[in-house]
Chain A
Amino acid sequence: MKLFFALLLCVSVAPNVFAHGSGSDRLARNLAATCANCHGTEGHSVGKVAALAGKPAQDTIGKLTEFKEGKRPATIMHQIAKGFTDEQLRLIADYFAAQK
């Protein structure tokens, strides 16, 4: 019995290994994940809808602003972009730009 448990036990000494980046990095990550249903996990689309991963942030934020202002033809993005603050959209655009 003792041996059984000794074998099962693993010792972990690293206390804080979850912290991937800062709080605002994780906020951007969480916000960007709301887009993944349609644009793919981390912006890697596997369908007709455009991928966002690796797109320059300026491009993405420009398009999102146009969607929000109703200046870019859209079936749905004008409605979704209006649900986010400009600050949130900027975080999202930066986040996708950094994805490989």
Chain B
Amino acid sequence: MRTVNRRDFLKAAAASAGFAALGGCASMEAGGGKNHVVVIGGGFGGATAARYLKHWGGANVNVTLIERDQEFVSCPLSNLIIGGSKSLPDITRGYASLAKERVRIVHDEVVAIDAEKRTVKLASGQSMGYERLVMSPGVEFQWDQVPALQDAAAREQILHAWKAGPQTLTLRKQLEAMPDGGVFAITIPLAPYRCPPGPYERACQAAHYFKQAKPKSKVLVLDANDKIVSKPALFDKIFKEMYGGMIEYRPNSRLMDVDVATRTAKLEFDDVKADVLNVVPPQRAADIAKNTGLITTNNKWCDVDWLTMESKVQPRIHILGDAVLAAPAMPKSGHMANQHGKIAAAAIIELLDGRAPNSTPVAVNTCYSFVDDKKVIHVSSVHQYNAEKKLLETVKDSGGLSKEANELEGEYALSWAQNIWADMLG
């Protein structure tokens, strides 16, 4: 059924004789109406926002979640598939339980947003009105910065595997097919990018697999940054002590292009040939954010008001997750996106009801990284609102790192995944 958008609806309703008599709140069957919140993107940010809007807002908030994919596949833990200790079903969840909690789920893609009319247009042709819009659109890969990979066929051979799913499995297959004595090279873009410790975790996972199955092989970490971006001392120690002679770390190795046929990474200063080449590309906020004019900074990220997660340039549009211009020392992580979702949900409920949003929001972050199939290291931080600077700021002396890689935190990391998936999807 085509949903009537807000303006069409009001026009038609005003034309109808009954409108004045009915007055007040008009709520449309297909999730329209005065308290209709549309959420774009059912990942860690969007699904959390949708669930908590219903959980906290109850029957008086109508929530529609628009998500392209039928199932949620978690990026956190996906490196374990590459290492061989997990499979895709382990990190896949459905949206059915969220639907049971009365979030209306529409599997479709948003093609355009009209911020003035407050409507979103879907690929199916349908459009719907909103009172508030929440966007957790994730990142777009900037293939223009790796010219040879602008070709879709080339991207079937040289993978990113930076959105969990089919590419995760294919990268695993490439490693399985690689001969002993081969080289796996992973390139890392300049920070900020999604999941700061992710590339280093992946290097450990590949090395963990090679140690068992093809011990003469090498892992080359080609990092555009001048040092390891996340948990540097821990990863440095693990590279040397757990995977000495196998993992080689090269800072200041910025990727300029690739040669697809020879799987060569063309770096600023030299070329490196690999048997399996994995490119984590430069990233910016997703196209839908760009096309809606929400990108404010470095042509990449969307600045927000930290009390509400509302865009600094478009009222009534709240942005979450990796697409956001992060506050200082705030990583682009699933855990942080979950926290963004809760800040936005709480604020929207207050705003819909004409009250001021919470003036003291707090966000916690933790990134657990598996350095083999059982041992984990973490980095944690707590961010409290600073009213003067209008920023979420890390609290002095809070947060920190694991002392060393350990198995107890391996169990906690798996527990974390179960809890955060349930927290967002029900």
Contacts and interface: CB of A to CB of B under 8 A. Distances in A.
Nearest to B335: A37
Given A19-B353, A30-B343, A79-B380, 13 more contacts: A1-B16, A8-B28, A11-B22, A11-B24, A11-B25, A18-B353, A30-B358, A34-B339, A35-B364, A40-B419, A75-B406, A76-B378, A88-B362
Most buried by B among A2, A6, A39, A41: A41
Contacts of B56: 20, 29
A10 B25 contact: yes
A7 B17 CA distance: 13
A48 interface: yes
A10 B382 contact: no
Contacts of A45: 415, 419
Interface in B304-354: 335, 338-339, 342-343, 346, 349-350, 352-353
Contacts of A82: 382, 395, 397-399
A31 interface: yes
B408 A75 contact: yes
Contacts of A40: 419, 422-423
A24 B346 CA distance: 13
Interface string B381-400: 11110000000001101111
Contact of A2 (B16, B353, B364, B416): B16
Interface string A55-84: 000000000000000000001100110111
B413 to A, nearest CB: 10
B26 A10 contact: yes
Size band of the A side of the interface? 35 or more
A29 B24 CA distance: 31
A63 B408 CA distance: 19
Most buried by B among A29, A45, A48: A48
B366 interface: yes
B12 interface: yes
Contacts of A20: 56, 58
Interface in B58-74: 58-61
B353 A47 contact: no
Contacts of B383: 83
Contacts of B360: 27
Contacts of A38: 366, 412, 415-416, 419-420
A12 B28 CA distance: 12
Interface string B17-56: 1110011111111000110000000000000000010011
Most buried by B among A10, A31, A34, A83: A83
Interface of A: 1-2, 5-13, 16-20, 26-27, 29-31, 33-41, 45-49, 75-76, 79-80, 82-84, 88
Contact of B418 (A16, A26, A47, A75): A47
A9 B23 CA distance: 9
Most buried by B among A9, A10, A19, A38: A9
Nearest to B334: A37
A33 B363 CA distance: 9
Interface string B268-303: 000000000000000000000000000000000000
Contacts of A1: 12, 16
A39 to B, nearest CB: 7
B411 interface: yes
B91 to A, nearest CB: 15
B234 interface: no
Nearest to A77: B380
A18 B59 CA distance: 9
Contacts of B9: 5
A47 B416 contact: yes
25 contacts: A1-B16, A2-B18, A6-B22, A9-B18, A9-B26, A10-B26, A11-B24, A12-B60, A18-B60, A19-B353, A27-B358, A37-B364, A37-B366, A37-B419, A37-B420, A40-B422, A46-B419, A47-B417, A47-B419, A48-B414, A49-B415, A79-B380, A80-B364, A82-B399, A83-B399
A30 B342 contact: yes
B169 interface: no
Given A33-B52, A47-B415, A83 B398 contact: yes
Contacts of A6: 16, 18, 22
A75 B346 CA distance: 30
B13 interface: yes
A5 B353 CA distance: 25
Contacts of A10: 25-27, 33
Contacts of A76: 366, 378, 380, 409, 412
Contacts of A83: 362, 364, 381-384, 394-395, 398-399
Contacts of B60: 12, 17-18
